[in-house]
A and B are shown apart, each in its own frame.
Chain A
Amino acid sequence: MPIIEVRSLSKVYRPNTGAPPVEALRDVSFSVEAGEFVAIVGPSGCGKSTLLEIIAGLQSPTAGEVVVLGKPVQGPRTEVGIVFQEDSTFPWLSTLENVKFGLKARGVPPAVQETLAKEVIQLVGLQGFEHHYPRELSGGMRQRVAIARTLVLRPQILLMDEPFGALDAQTRIVLGNELLRIWQEIQATILFVTHDLLEALRLADRVILMTRRPGQIKRIVETAAPRPREQTPVASAKTAELANMLWEELRQEVV
Chain B
Amino acid sequence: MKARILVLRWLTVLAFLLVLEVLPRAGLVRPSTLEPVSVILVRLGEILFSGTIPSPYFARAGTPTLASHLSATLGSILVSYAGAVLIGTPAGVLLWRFPVLARILNPYLVVYYALPIFALYPLFILLFGIGFLPIVLLGFLFAVVVVIVNTALGLRRVDEEIYPKVGRSLGLRPVQMYLSIYLPGAAPFVFSGWKLAFVYSTISVIASEFLISVRGLGHVIDRSYRNFETANMYAAIILVIGGVMLANSVLTWIERRLYTRVE
Interface residues, chain A, with chain B CB atoms under 8 Å away: 56, 58, 76-78, 81-82, 84, 86, 88, 90-93, 101-102, 104-106, 133, 135, 149, 153
Assuming the contacts A84-B162, A88-B166, A133-B261, asked whether A105 and B172 have C-beta atoms less than 8 A apart, the reply is yes
Cβ-defined contact, A78 with B169, below 8 A: no
Complex contacts, B260 vs chain A, CB 8 Å: 135
A-B contact pairs, 10 of them (CB 8 A): A58-B165, A81-B169, A84-B165, A90-B166, A90-B185, A91-B263, A101-B180, A135-B260, A135-B263, A153-B170
Closest 8 CB pairs of A and B: A102-B170, A92-B184, A91-B262, A82-B169, A88-B162, A88-B166, A92-B261, A105-B172
Query: Which of B180, B185, B263 has its CB near the most chain A CB atoms (within 10 A)?
Result: B180
Interface residues, chain B, with chain A CB atoms under 8 Å away: 162-163, 165-166, 168-173, 176, 180-181, 184-185, 187, 260-263
Complex contacts, B261 vs chain A, CB 8 Å: 91-92, 133, 135
Cβ-defined contact, B170 with A105, below 8 A: yes
Cβ-defined contact, A90 with B171, below 8 A: no
Cβ-defined contact, B171 with A76, below 8 A: yes
Complex contacts, B165 vs chain A, CB 8 Å: 58, 84, 88
Total number of A-B contacts with CB less than 8 angstroms? 53
Q: Closest approach, in angstroms, between the C-beta of A18 and any C-beta of chain B?
A: 16
Complex contacts, A149 vs chain B, CB 8 Å: 170
Interchain CA distance A242-B98 in the complex, whole Å = 53
**Which of B163, B171, B262 is the one whose CB lies under 8 Å from A105?**
B171
Complex contacts, B166 vs chain A, CB 8 Å: 84, 88, 90
Interchain CA distance A92-B163 in the complex, whole Å = 12
Interchain CA distance A92-B258 in the complex, whole Å = 8
Q: Closest approach, in angstroms, between the C-beta of A2 and any C-beta of chain B?
A: 22
Interchain CA distance A101-B173 in the complex, whole Å = 13
Complex contacts, B185 vs chain A, CB 8 Å: 90, 92
In the complex formed, the residue of A with least CB distance to B170 is A102
Complex contacts, B187 vs chain A, CB 8 Å: 92
Q: Closest approach, in angstroms, between the C-beta of B205 and any C-beta of chain A?
A: 34
Complex contacts, A91 vs chain B, CB 8 Å: 261-263
Cβ-defined contact, B171 with A78, below 8 A: yes
Cβ-defined contact, B184 with A105, below 8 A: no
Interchain CA distance A133-B260 in the complex, whole Å = 10
**Which of A78, A90, A135 is the one whose CB lies under 8 Å from B184?**
A90
Q: Closest approach, in angstroms, between the C-beta of A193 and any C-beta of chain B?
A: 15
Complex contacts, B184 vs chain A, CB 8 Å: 90, 92-93
Complex contacts, B172 vs chain A, CB 8 Å: 105
Assuming the contacts A91-B261, A91-B263, asked whether A101 and B170 have C-beta atoms less than 8 A apart, the reply is yes
